[in-house]
Amino acid sequence: MEFNADELRAYFLTRIIGRRIEYYEELESTNTEALRLALENAPEGTVVIADAQSEGRGRLDRIWESPPSLNLYLSVVLRPDIPAASASLIPLAVGVTVAEVISKYCPGKVQLKWPNDVLFDGRKICGILTEMRTKADRVHFIIVGIGVNINMRKLDFPRAIRETATSLRIETECEIDRLDVAIRLFENLERWYRIFLSGGEAAIREKWLQYADIVGKRIEVVFGKTIQRGTVTGLDDSGALLLEGETGVQQVLAGDVYIERL
Ligand code: BTN
């Protein structure tokens, strides 16, 4: 299916997100290109999309599988005029954005996994990588990278992630128009970004917790060789997960979350 970037540009002329759209057949990584453009003063809302990535990047230095013509790989430049310490809810707002969009195609089993993996029926359907640059303790810019598995079939995934990843096509049994998903994503990101800018942190946390369905569950969080265990009590103001364990309440700032097997 052709990806018509001009159609996308015309649609987003009046918004923040998608004000400028750069489309490439292949990039190493849309996050790396967006970072480069942001350093050259690309305006807020600039979106970089690629049909394929040769070095798609995931969280914790992982690789993001990015074959051509099947999925969405995009990165957005945000320039909120806020202290860097206040930006930590943005990744969660992006998770909520994507979860709502995925729910439009396949409702019911969409779940957020801290900080912002989007799962469908326990399998990963979208990953989000946010990268921030600061200037004197304020946000200079934030790159929000979103990878959504759209038309991958089971055999398109490398064997190692075949059982743990999924796509919209696998779940709906229909081929999905990537442009349609991109438009819904931009519209919803615009909405949640504006909620964030107008002081809607509580709404973001509430919606995130709704999709995560994790409060009261015992989890373990693995970060390198460190393991934290406890029962989730919620999110703090900065979006860190709060765990109640034997030594009291601790903040989870990074790592992979697993529901503890009893
Ligand atoms: C993760 O779950 O580990 C995050 C994956 C993020 C992948 C997206 S694809 C578009 C953007 N460009 C990248 O190199 N990574 C992000």
Whole-angstrom Cα distance, residue 202 to residue 20?
A: 30
75 lines ligand 1 (CB under 6 A): yes
Ligand 1: residue whose CA is nearest its atom 9: 147
Alpha-carbon distances of 191 from 91, 98, 186, 213, rounded to whole Å: 14, 12, 9, 23
| Candidate of 24, 51, 57 to mutate for ligand 1, largest count of ligand atoms within 8 Å of Cβ | 57
Relative to the CA of 116, which ligand 1 atom is closest? 2
Average pLDDT by consecutive 10-residue portion of the chain (262 residues)? 74 81 97 98 97 95 95 98 94 97 94 92 96 96 98 96 97 96 95 96 95 92 90 92 92 87 58
Which are the contacts of 245, defined by CB distance < 8 A and separation ≥ 6?
228, 229, 230, 231
Alpha-carbon distances of 245 from 214, 220, 228, 232, rounded to whole Å: 15, 11, 9, 9
pLDDT given at position 205: 95
Whole-angstrom Cα distance, residue 152 to residue 175?
A: 9
The model carries a pTM of 0.92
Alpha-carbon distances of 59 from 10, 69, 130, 245, 256, rounded to whole Å: 32, 23, 9, 26, 10
Helix intervals (H) in the chain: 5-11, 30-39, 90-105, 168-172, 178-197, 201-212
Whole-angstrom Cα distance, residue 12 to residue 183?
A: 9
| Candidate of 54, 62, 146 to mutate for ligand 1, largest count of ligand atoms within 8 Å of Cβ | 146
Amino acid, single-letter form, for residue 45: G
Determine contact, residues 133/37, Cβ cutoff 8 Å.
no
Find how far residue 14's CA is from the centre of its chain.
24
User: How many of the other CB atoms lie within 10 Å of CB of 242?
Assistant: 16
pLDDT given at position 234: 93
Phi/psi-derived region of residue 35, left when phi > 0, alpha when psi is between -120 and 50, beta in every other case? alpha
Q: Tell me how many degrees the CA angle 182-183-187 measures, rounded to the nearest 5.
A: 115
30 lines ligand 1 (CB under 6 A): yes
State in Å: Cα 144 to ligand 1 middle. Answer: 9
pLDDT given at position 13: 66
| Candidate of 31, 49, 152 to mutate for ligand 1, largest count of ligand atoms within 8 Å of Cβ | 31
Token pair recorded at residue 180: 């349609």
Which are the contacts of 140, defined by CB distance < 8 A and separation ≥ 6?
38, 79, 132, 133, 134
31 lines ligand 1 (CB under 6 A): yes
181 lines ligand 1 (CB under 6 A): no
57 lines ligand 1 (CB under 6 A): yes
Whole-angstrom Cα distance, residue 243 to residue 228?
A: 8
Relative to the CA of 59, which ligand 1 atom is closest? 3
Alpha-carbon distances of 182 from 50, 75, 91, 111, 186, rounded to whole Å: 12, 11, 18, 20, 6
- The tally of CA atoms less than 13 A away on the side-chain side of residue 61 is 2
